[in-house]
Amino acid sequence: MRVLIIGVGTRGDVAPYTGLGMRLREAGHEVTIAAHEPYTELVTDAGLEHKPLPGDPLPALTGRFSVRISAFEEYGEQLMEGLAELAGQEADLLLLGMAGALGCHVAEAMGVPSMGVHLQPIDPTGDFPPVMSLFRRSLGRWGNRRAARLAFELPAAGPLLAGLSTKMRARLGLPPMTPSALYRRRESTRWPVFHGVSPLVLPRPADWRPGLEITGYWWPLRPRGWQPDPVLCDFLASGPTPVFVGFGSLADARAEQYTELAVHALRRAGLRGVLQTGLRGRLSDDVLAVGDVPHDWLFPRMAAVAHACGSGTTGAGVRAGVPAVAVPVMNDQPLWASRLMALGVAPAAIPFRRLTPARLADALTTAVTDPAYRRRAQALSVRISAEDGAAPIVEAVNQLRVTRGPGRRPG
């Protein structure tokens, strides 16, 4: 099968698909990942073909509200054009990340099947409030389900995203279809969605329809030939085990501010730290700021990891078997923060808007000094490391190949 994975978003939205794509390639399939330009090497280092998508999502995620709206409009138009161009590619199957939802129109225009490969659970359930909405607290089982359904019928970005869907269908020569109609078609056909999350971290909701599965994590590959920086190795060996503090792709927008906050917190807690906050270099004898370092290498060498709770970073943390400090910012991050607390591997979360050096210092101290957090984290790590999250997707693609035949484009 010629498989096209649409991985829209920042690094954390793309990296898991390199591991998934590699497994599909090992099963004999040709795999291409469509992602934004900065992640070309991330894809090609995994031995996969890369199709560049225009635009940059970061301005739409950072800055003042008015800036975000303007940037989202510009980004959405660029993304729509880039996705529409993919309709001219040769493919037998499209695998769509949640942020690449417009890809369903591309698959329809190409006349090929598609499946969801999501890193976040967006389908309606009573178990938790919808992750891509403004709600952060549970609305009760009925309210949670209703709010999630409304998020499908009127997407989280409101008329902006709904308008892009309308434009995309017109651009591809497809008949008009409202978000409600698209949702009903998705449900009636039981469109398959695989979630790259461990069922130990997020048990499958019992009220989900058939076709929605939680498989286990899809682990990103390390860059080809990667070796740790000797400066980092020297720092790790030069004193007590440090903690990690990082806030994902958003940190680059306000690197100095986030770095200063983290340094003050570490000084207050009396801890050494490795920071991933946008800056680089030795900030003091006890603090080192680093760039991209594979989390599967770095996290097991930490005493605790403080992060914004993106899906992939959360997975890397629980796989490493170290305590966490959850600092959720938006979207699905509060859900993962709540799951880390429920699993007993993290103290109470600190919403990012309430983050101060004192609060971060107290949480890091608790995570490092209370042995129960590390004991539970290590036990969870053993079980998660035994999972094979890519296997169900490989099986589904192999089965599709059997039913449709290799290399055939459905009419």
pLDDT digits (tens, 9 = 90+) for 371-385: 999 999 999 999 999
Per-residue pLDDT at 340: 97
User: What does the pLDDT average to over 31-42?
Assistant: 92
Q: pLDDT exceeding 70 applies to what percent of the chain?
A: 90
pLDDT tens digit string along 322-371? 999 999 988 889 999 999 999 999 999 999 889 999 999 999 999 999 99
Per-residue pLDDT at 411: 35
User: What does the pLDDT average to over 307-319?
Assistant: 94
pLDDT tens digit string along 182-208? 888 988 999 999 999 999 999 999 999
For the chain, what's the residue count?
411
250 pLDDT higher than 60:
yes
Per-residue pLDDT at 146: 86
**Token pair belonging to 191:** 């469109």
State whether the Cα torsion 402-405-409-411 is positive or negative. negative
Across the chain, mean pLDDT equals 88
H or E stretch covering 96: strand 93-96
Is residue 116 exposed (0-12), middle (13-18) or buried (19+ Cβ within 10 Å)? buried
* Cα–Cα dist 380/385, whole Å: 9
Helix axes 159-171, 103-110, angle to 10 degrees: 20
Report residue 238 CA to chain centroid gap: 33
Helix axes 140-153, 179-188, angle to 10 degrees: 110
* Cα–Cα dist 312/383, whole Å: 17
Q: Are strands 273-276 and 287-289 parallel, antiparallel or unpaired?
A: parallel
73 pLDDT higher than 80:
no
Per-residue pLDDT at 133: 66
What is the largest distance, in Å, between two alpha-carbon atoms of the chain?
65
62 pLDDT higher than 70:
no
Per-residue pLDDT at 66: 46
Q: Which residues contact 337 (CB under 8 A, 6 or more apart)?
A: 309, 326, 327, 328, 346, 349
85 pLDDT higher than 60:
yes
* Full-model pTM: 0.91
Q: How many CB atoms lie within 10 A of CB 382?
A: 9
Lowest-confidence pick of 36-50, 65-79, 161-175, 282-296: 65-79
* Cα–Cα dist 229/238, whole Å: 14
User: What does the pLDDT average to over 168-188?
Assistant: 88
Which candidate, 328, 289, 288, 287, places its Cα nearest to that of 310?
A: 328
Lowest-confidence pick of 52-61, 123-132, 334-343: 52-61
**Token pair belonging to 26:** 């090992």
* Cα–Cα dist 165/264, whole Å: 45
> What's the one-letter identity of residue 362?
D
Strand partners, 194: 117, 213
Per-residue pLDDT at 405: 59
Per-residue pLDDT at 134: 64
User: What does the pLDDT average to over 8-35?
Assistant: 93
Task: Using alpha carbons, list the distances in angstroms from residue 91 to 106, 135, 375.
Answer: 11, 38, 46
More confident residue, 271 or 67: 271
Q: Which residues contact 113 (CB under 8 A, 6 or more apart)?
A: 93, 94, 107, 400, 410
Q: pLDDT exceeding 90 applies to what percent of the chain?
A: 60
Q: How many CB atoms lie within 10 A of CB 285?
A: 10
**Token pair belonging to 327:** 């600092």
Q: Dihedrals φ, ψ of 159, to 5°?
A: -65, -20
170 pLDDT higher than 80:
yes
**Token pair belonging to 77:** 């138009």
Per-residue pLDDT at 183: 85
Q: How many CB atoms lie within 10 A of CB 200?
A: 15
Name the pLDDT band for 68 (thresholds 50, 70, 90): low
236 pLDDT higher than 80:
yes
**Token pair belonging to 124:** 């309606």
Task: Using alpha carbons, list the distances in angstroms from residue 124 to 104, 201, 206, 280, 393.
Answer: 19, 18, 11, 42, 22
Q: Are strands 281-284 and 287-289 parallel, antiparallel or unpaired?
A: antiparallel
* Cα–Cα dist 107/162, whole Å: 18
Lowest-confidence pick of 61-75, 221-235, 241-255: 61-75
